Amino acid sequence: MALSGFVEFFQKGKTFRPKKKFTHGTMRYSLYKQAQASLNSGINLRNVVKLPPGEDLNDWIAVHVVDFFNRINLIYGTISEYCDSTSCPTMSGGARFEYLWADGDKYKKPTALPAPQYVSLLMDWIETQINNESLFPVSTDIPFPKSFIPLCRKILTRLFRVFVHVYIHHFDRIVAIGAEPHINTCYKHFYYFVTEFDLINHKELEPLAEMTAKVCKDAVLNARQTTVPGSANGR
């Protein structure tokens, strides 16, 4: 299926969260439209993620973090009715990886939660971060804080865990609704972006390494990466 139908496809389904939008007429809106135009052109996704000449890296990353937040919300929305505390009592990616939630506020210590509760807390947390203008400035007059890249690393690492859970525990549903090509495209786009700018630790990518090798055929995976238990809290 054509890449241009990707967002349209998911917008027909259940939306898990309202979309975060860029303000029309701003530089970041222009960057977003530029990124979308490249995606819809069907060119190589590895090239699409590269920083356009003359553009600011922080702005480019901010645009993509928000876009991936929107897309992964939509992806989870397509399977959310099949993901409950009975079917998914832990936020896991198979038997070897379990993700624990900690936010430094209500959950000060890493805590095991059912997958839907973990994802709901995660999306609420991300939404709070990207709506905080001191963390994600909306004006070019306001500089990005020093914490911006580490925060984006944490956001993207946690979003990756949603991919892990969806692929490993709900792949049959994805296939049943014909969404596999679209989700694979989103995953490739995400994977190429985070590896282009080294935004996720290689060990975090391990749960989907085998699938990545098939979906991203030109991906260069770290052959020396080791398998580690996934008791991650994003710290």
pLDDT digits (tens, 9 = 90+) for 178-197: 888 888 888 999 999 999 99
Q: What is the pLDDT of residue 191?
A: 96
Task: Spell out the domain ranges in the chain.
Answer: 25-223
pLDDT in tens, 88-131: 999 999 889 999 999 999 999 999 999 999 999 999 999 999 98
Of the pLDDT bands very low, low, confident and very high (cuts 50, 70, 90), residue 39 is low
- CATH number, domain 25-223: 1.20.140.30
Q: CB-based contacts of 6: which residues, under 8 Å, 6+ apart?
A: 39, 182, 185, 186
pTM of the model: 0.80
Binding residues for Zn(2+): 83, 88, 165, 170
Of the pLDDT bands very low, low, confident and very high (cuts 50, 70, 90), residue 165 is very high
How far is the C-alpha of 190 from the C-alpha of 60, rounded, in Å?
13
- 152: DSSP letter: H
Q: CB-based contacts of 9: which residues, under 8 Å, 6+ apart?
A: 1, 179, 182
SS3 12: coil
Q: Is the dihedral of CA 34, 147, 164, 114 positive or negative?
A: negative
Binding residues: 83, 88, 165, 170
